[in-house]
Amino acid sequence: MLRLAAFAVTSALAAAAAGPLPPLPLGRLLASPDRLTVAVSDTGNRRIDGEYRLECRPVGGDHPEAKEACDRLEQLAREGKDPFAAEPKRRMCTFQDGGPAKARITGTWHGRKVDSTFHRKNGCDIARWNDLEPVLPSARS
């Protein structure tokens, strides 16, 4: 028992003499990659309608513009914007029709769940869609 106590004291003194250990990179270890599913329909262009996987940090998936889409999401995050936030309910929007295009984005982004829908049925919706290009395809007429 005395030997064990002496070993513990010696080990503690040796560790203290060596100095503090560098911090663990927990942010990188705990950060999970962004994984999103982007489902787009009714754009009027069959080549862009469909479902795509988008992975960021690192970039991957089958999204046709994966790197640019991830760059756009990171740019919006740096600006303090939530690209998946719904439009406020009581907001004045122009009455214009951007077409029947619809999109739904689900998955995880920056460690939180995402389930967001996008339309082009008024000026606010159109601006919200356009702001998220190229995550969402260009559906401008």
What is the per-residue pLDDT across 112-135, written as a single tens digit (0 to 9) for each? 999 999 999 999 999 999 999 999
Give the mean pLDDT per block of 10 residues along the chain (141 residues): 47 50 45 89 92 96 97 96 87 90 96 95 93 88 49
Cβ proximity of 117 and 68 under 8 Å: no
pTM of the model: 0.75
Token look-up 């988008």 returns 54
State the Cα–Cα distance between residues 48 and 51, nearest whole angstrom.
Answer: 9
Please report, for the chain, the start and end positions of each structural domain, with discontinuous segments joined by +.
Answer: 32-87+95-136
- How does pLDDT run across 93-108, given as a tens digit for each residue? 898 999 999 999 999 9
Token look-up 């029947």 returns 100
Was domain 32-87+95-136 assigned CATH 3.30.350.10? yes
Cα separations in angstroms, 15 against 6, 21, 22 = 14, 9, 13
